[in-house]
Chains A and B, each alone.
Chain A
Amino acid sequence: MINKRRVLSAVAVVQTIALTISLSVPLLGQRKSPASDSIKIPFETYKLSNGLTVILSEDHTTPTVAVDIWYHVGSKNEMPGRTGFAHLFEHVMFTGSGHVPYGLHDKLTEGIGGGNNGSTNNDRTNYYETIPSNYLESALWLESDRMGFLLDKLDIAKLNAQRDVVKNERRQSYDNQPYGRVSEIFSAAMYPKDHPYSWPVIGSMTDLSAASEEDVKAFFRLYYAPNNATLAVVGDFDPKQTKAWIQKYFSDLPQGKALERPKVALGKLDASKRLVYEDRVQVPRLYIQWPTVGFKHDDDYALSVMSSILSGPRTARLTKALVYDTQMASQIGAFQNSAEDVGVFQVVVIPRPEHSLTELEGAVDQVIQKFISEGPTVEELQKAKSGLELGFIRGLESNLGKANQLISGAMFYGNPNQFGTDYQKTLAVTAADVKRVASQYLTRSRIVLSVVPKGKKDQASKATESEAVTVVVGKRRGGRS
């Protein structure tokens, strides 16, 4: 994989989470699966005196190990006018640090048959190395050096090159990508101006240009301290030796200031909005979003289960009705996309040529109205949960996957074992729960966005009532660069 140092949208993260938690209940009348004992990841955890949380989990299946660090900072911590900064900073973390010349990080990872990468979303930034197990010590040294000594060798030319790289990342993944602007249009429409989730993780071109050396330094000092980080080592290692190395490389890094985590308001629309966006596409698409809750809210479990009942397999409600029965749609998807503080439920529909977005919106609403009034059947609920166990066990095949699960729990819930709680709470979701969240959230004010070919605004759903999105959103200050 060469396109490293990627931005990871909230959507992507949530889909990963949804994959692991949203799917399974032991079948009625089936013997109890011996595999259900497998819903565990053995680990130990402790804290260094500087506040760094450490999690260790051994797995000697292959002679490899993953070192994974999450910092509890993401795009929501940015200031308006500096959108995209958390992610740009992630790139800077790969340009060398006090004792590590540029390039050595890659040499000690991909250069020895391993890999490394980083990713940023609204809530957190992560960095990892996957390496042959005999290179664990150097990986810990690399991570500790950029946690402690990034600014010692901050190279402005490298910052500027990465600024250009990130702008190209934006072009490649959003601007030159059909339908690539949808997520930022929704973020801007769903939340009030200056709400921490109202701008895209990738940021705007103008803001990326504005980021200064001083911004990098201030951001590092505030957020990249051990007390704002969680480190996991998962795989083939000796725990005693590894603890000694962690102590050696991390324990003398100074603790940072305690961080205040601002209370973030949930998305809420006073009235529904209809938007139309003209893109360089030939096939129009319909998107509908309702504000829901973040992943720390218990309704997230029922919303995730609901998404599996509405779309995915051919017998899911929306898929069956629109793709199979009436065949108005080529494809359809429904997802609960949740982040730490907020979430949305989204439906996306790709039409067949003979069918208008207005027709499709009506058909989606019909299916959802019926679902709200009757709720899911026992079998639907069972099917929605049946993949959960397999998904979890397959996740155990990856050192990095386990590390991410453990850290996510530690960072957001103070409990590395949170995956087990998520699993149990998903299994416990009842038909009544799903019916309730359907009627509670899918009847709210919502945003309907039609993406149509250039010059074809009349193809929007209820075109005359739709407001054109003309300004490229995410550029919150100044004009287009």
Chain B
Amino acid sequence: MKTQKKVLACAAALVISLANIAAIAQQTIDRTAVPPSGPTPVLRVPTWTKTQLANGATLIVSERHSLPLVSFTITFLGGSNQFEPEGKRGVASMTASMLSEGTATKTGDQLSDALQLLGTGISSGVGGEEGSLGFVSTTQNFEATLAILADEMLNSTFPAAALERLRGRTLVNLTQAKDQPVVVGAQVFNKILYGNAHPYGQRTTETSVKAITRDDVMAFAKAYYQPGRSIVTVAGDITPLKAKAAVEKGLAAWAKAGDKPSFDYPKLPELQPAKIYLVDKPGAAQSVFNIGLPGPPRNTPDYFALQVLNTILGGQFQSRLNANIREQKGYSYGVNSNFGYGKGPGPFRAGGSIVSAKTDAALVEFMKELKGIVGEKPITDEELKTAKDSLIQGLPQRFASVSAISNAITSLVTQGLPDDYYQQYAKNVSAVTKEDVLRVAKRYIDLNHLAIVIVGDRSEVEAGLKATGIAPITYIDIEGNPAGN
């Protein structure tokens, strides 16, 4: 038995007595047995209130008083895909940045100083299908921060000089992005899958950024930041009553306007027979892989089966792809797969960065795992169970912080999911069978029509890729255009 314990805490006596008990237990400790888990904790999904403001916005309030924090977010349905005019890709993000450049009563510097003194900042962004404005503040500074957010949203003056500065910065960012193989790979992949006519294939370019005028920015702001398509979410150390009063006061000038956009997308380009699209990056130490094709939208009835499928294939560290290509073969620091669900046909994608010398060998392994999941290597009971356990028991993590709670609740509205989605989640995941997984794998991972996009050093990888015989090679440039042979 060990004596002379150095006990620093006040619980000295308790610790020593426990030590004695445990010392006896130690004689019989069997390290070979995996300690059993305790009873599954009861799922505690945050509750919330949902009301309609007079201006048409939806107000959601969820209370959590454990810390003096409030998360505030306005989420706008629809994004650059719905609201950007032809040829003006980038105007949505530009407008989001311009909101903080000055209002009718404050300069950009004054807005910034005021936020610094409140110890927080306002985040502002517009993505493909939704946008947001928001902050996390201390409870005490909530209303003062909300007042600044409202001023930026409603009274921005969009100074012309600020637009030129932001344009200059954006152009530098676009130039730098060309040097990043991972960014190039993702952009080219989208362009191959969706083409120029589909918003999912479009992106901000030098040409589109140069075409944006101050009028474009002002028109976008006016059309976009409207309550009729908004969800105002307040989560944290505040009651629904106080939150509603604060929002009605802070956003009093936000007049009823706007409605929910439709998410109609053009038809997808016709699927092409499987092809390797090789982007030459001389001197690259690795080849960046993106393999996939357009997939289902978020509202697919196959969602839960697809989640289980992806967890087995490439959603986790011990998923098939990473277990093979990283852990067994050592070809990569990490590979994965995912379904990019949206309102439209977001992509299925598998990929990662592969050491140049193993580019061909890795492609063989990627294809082996994709063939495996569509039937050649049936999923086991254990894989199915682990995937489901992982999805179901990971749920509490989604409510770990006030901003996480805000996201978890708001996403139900933006994705059109029922209020009891989280309560029903375990049931829905549990219902997935091995047959379901195989069915959705065959349906959505169409091996005959995969786009295999590889950004790497052509001189080092081309011969090996050809020798695999997996698919013919097409050469493209970093913009995704044909590069000749």
Same complex for A and B? Answer yes
Does chain B have a CB within 8 A of A424? no
Does chain A have a CB within 8 A of B197? no
Question: Which single residue of chain B is at the shortest CB-CB distance from A171?
Answer: B285
Partner of B44, one of A49, A62, A396: A62
Given known pairs A46-B11, A167-B355, A168-B353, the reply for A282 and B178 (CB within 8 Å) is yes
Does chain B have a CB within 8 A of A113? yes
Contacts of A103 in B (CB 8 A): 318, 323
Smallest beta-carbon distance B107→chain A, Å: 10
Partner of B117, one of A141, A331, A382: A382
Encode contact with A along B99-140: 1 for CB under 8 Å, 0 otherwise.
Answer: 000000000110011011111110000000000000011111
Given known pairs A46-B11, A248-B26, A353-B172, the reply for A394 and B37 (CB within 8 Å) is no
Residue contact A330 to B353, C-beta cutoff 8 Å: no
Contacts of A110 in B (CB 8 A): 316-318, 390
Encode contact with A along B398-441: 1 for CB under 8 Å, 0 otherwise.
Answer: 01111000000000000000000000000000000000000000
Partner of B42, one of A47, A63, A163, A178: A63
Which of A132-140, A296-304, A359-367, A442-450 faces chain B? A132-140
Encode contact with A along B154-166: 1 for CB under 8 Å, 0 otherwise.
Answer: 0000000000010
Partner of B10, one of A44, A162, A168: A44
Residue contact A63 to B44, C-beta cutoff 8 Å: yes
Residue contact A2 to B172, C-beta cutoff 8 Å: no
Kindly state the separation between the CA atoms of A397 and B406 in the bound complex, as whole angstroms.
14
Residue contact A171 to B355, C-beta cutoff 8 Å: yes
Kindly state the separation between the CA atoms of A176 and B354 in the bound complex, as whole angstroms.
11
Residue contact B34 to A138, C-beta cutoff 8 Å: yes
Kindly state the separation between the CA atoms of A160 and B329 in the bound complex, as whole angstroms.
10
Residue contact A113 to B180, C-beta cutoff 8 Å: no
Does chain A have a CB within 8 A of B380? no
Does chain B have a CB within 8 A of A289? no
Residue contact A331 to B169, C-beta cutoff 8 Å: yes
Does chain A have a CB within 8 A of B19? yes
Does chain A have a CB within 8 A of B216? no
Smallest beta-carbon distance A60→chain B, Å: 9
Does chain B have a CB within 8 A of A263? no
User: Would you list which residues of chain A between 1 and 60 have a CB under 8 Å from chain B?
Assistant: 2-4, 23-24, 27, 33-35, 38, 44-50
Residue contact B68 to A38, C-beta cutoff 8 Å: yes
Does chain B have a CB within 8 A of A389? yes
Kindly state the separation between the CA atoms of A103 and B15 in the bound complex, as whole angstroms.
34
Given known pairs A315-B116, A330-B169, A397-B402, the reply for A390 and B137 (CB within 8 Å) is yes
Does chain A have a CB within 8 A of B173? yes
Given known pairs A134-B38, A393-B138, the reply for A164 and B330 (CB within 8 Å) is yes
Does chain A have a CB within 8 A of B21? yes
Encode contact with A along B325-357: 1 for CB under 8 Å, 0 otherwise.
Answer: 011111111111000000000000000011100
Kindly state the separation between the CA atoms of A157 and B298 in the bound complex, as whole angstroms.
42
Does chain A have a CB within 8 A of B179? yes
Which of A120-128, A183-191, A236-244 faces chain B? A236-244
Residue contact A383 to B113, C-beta cutoff 8 Å: yes
Kindly state the separation between the CA atoms of A353 and B172 in the bound complex, as whole angstroms.
8
Does chain A have a CB within 8 A of B58? no
Residue contact A162 to B330, C-beta cutoff 8 Å: yes
Does chain A have a CB within 8 A of B23? yes
Contacts of A391 in B (CB 8 A): 119
Residue contact A168 to B355, C-beta cutoff 8 Å: yes
Residue contact A393 to B69, C-beta cutoff 8 Å: yes
Does chain A have a CB within 8 A of B175? yes
Partner of A141, one of B3, B7, B31, B112: B31
The count of residues in chain A whose C-beta lies closer than 8 Å to any C-beta of chain B is 101
Does chain A have a CB within 8 A of B467? no
Contacts of A397 in B (CB 8 A): 67, 69, 400-402
Does chain A have a CB within 8 A of B469? no
Does chain A have a CB within 8 A of B267? no
User: Would you list which residues of chain B between 250 and 281 have a CB under 8 Å from chain A?
Assistant: none
Residue contact A111 to B390, C-beta cutoff 8 Å: yes
Kindly state the separation between the CA atoms of A402 and B36 in the bound complex, as whole angstroms.
27
Does chain A have a CB within 8 A of B284? yes
Given known pairs A113-B391, A393-B69, the reply for A243 and B400 (CB within 8 Å) is no
Residue contact A161 to B328, C-beta cutoff 8 Å: yes
Contacts of A163 in B (CB 8 A): 330
Given known pairs A47-B6, A49-B4, A248-B22, the reply for A282 and B179 (CB within 8 Å) is yes
Given known pairs A134-B40, A386-B116, the reply for A49 and B3 (CB within 8 Å) is yes
Kindly state the separation between the CA atoms of A38 and B12 in the bound complex, as whole angstroms.
27
Does chain A have a CB within 8 A of B463? no
Question: Which single residue of chain B is at the shortest CB-CB distance from A60?
Answer: B66
Does chain B have a CB within 8 A of A388? yes
Given known pairs A3-B334, A165-B332, A397-B402, the reply for A387 and B286 (CB within 8 Å) is no
Kindly state the separation between the CA atoms of A136 and B41 in the bound complex, as whole angstroms.
12
Residue contact A283 to B328, C-beta cutoff 8 Å: no
Does chain B have a CB within 8 A of A272? no
Residue contact B31 to A98, C-beta cutoff 8 Å: yes
Residue contact B31 to A145, C-beta cutoff 8 Å: yes
Given known pairs A47-B8, A137-B35, the reply for A35 and B112 (CB within 8 Å) is no
Q: How big is chain B's contact interface, by range? A: 35 or more
The B interface, classified by DSSP as helix, strand, loop or mixed, is: mixed
Contacts of B112 in A (CB 8 A): 313-315
Kindly state the separation between the CA atoms of A176 and B287 in the bound complex, as whole angstroms.
9
Contacts of B241 in A (CB 8 A): none
Contacts of B459 in A (CB 8 A): none
Partner of B176, one of A113, A282, A394: A282
Smallest beta-carbon distance B286→chain A, Å: 5
Does chain B have a CB within 8 A of A280? yes
Question: Which single residue of chain B is at the shortest CB-CB distance from A149?
Answer: B31
Does chain B have a CB within 8 A of A324? yes
Given known pairs A3-B334, A168-B332, the reply for A330 and B172 (CB within 8 Å) is yes
Given known pairs A112-B393, A397-B402, the reply for A2 and B317 (CB within 8 Å) is yes
Residue contact B136 to A386, C-beta cutoff 8 Å: no
Residue contact A314 to B109, C-beta cutoff 8 Å: yes
Contacts of A63 in B (CB 8 A): 41-42, 44, 396
Partner of B37, one of A24, A138, A313, A352: A138
Contacts of A149 in B (CB 8 A): 31
Kindly state the separation between the CA atoms of A61 and B400 in the bound complex, as whole angstroms.
8
Contacts of A320 in B (CB 8 A): 109
Residue contact A314 to B108, C-beta cutoff 8 Å: yes
Contacts of B22 in A (CB 8 A): 244, 247-248, 251
Given known pairs A137-B35, A244-B18, A397-B67, the reply for A352 and B172 (CB within 8 Å) is yes
Does chain B have a CB within 8 A of A172? yes
Kindly state the separation between the CA atoms of A249 and B23 in the bound complex, as whole angstroms.
10
Does chain A have a CB within 8 A of B39? yes
Does chain B have a CB within 8 A of A428? no
Does chain A have a CB within 8 A of B242? no
Does chain B have a CB within 8 A of A252? yes
Does chain A have a CB within 8 A of B283? yes
Kindly state the separation between the CA atoms of A256 and B378 in the bound complex, as whole angstroms.
47
Residue contact A252 to B26, C-beta cutoff 8 Å: yes
Kindly state the separation between the CA atoms of A290 and B485 in the bound complex, as whole angstroms.
49
User: Would you list which residues of chain A between 369 and 397 have a CB under 8 Å from chain B?
Assistant: 379, 382-383, 386-391, 393-394, 396-397
Contacts of A106 in B (CB 8 A): 316-318
Kindly state the separation between the CA atoms of A236 and B400 in the bound complex, as whole angstroms.
12
Smallest beta-carbon distance B103→chain A, Å: 15
Closest 6 CB pairs of A and B: A164-B330, A113-B393, A113-B394, A63-B41, A247-B22, A134-B38
Residues of A within 8 A of B (CB): 2-4, 23-24, 27, 33-35, 38, 44-50, 61-64, 98-99, 103-104, 106-108, 110-114, 130, 132-138, 140-141, 145, 149, 160-169, 171-173, 175-178, 236, 240, 243-244, 247-249, 251-252, 280-283, 313-315, 320, 323-324, 327, 330-331, 350, 352-353, 379, 382-383, 386-391, 393-394, 396-398
Could you write out 6 A-B pairs with CB less than 8 Å apart?
A49-B6, A62-B396, A99-B31, A113-B394, A164-B355, A398-B401
A2-B335, A315-B116 given. 5 additional CB < 8 A pairs? A45-B9, A134-B38, A240-B14, A248-B29, A383-B117
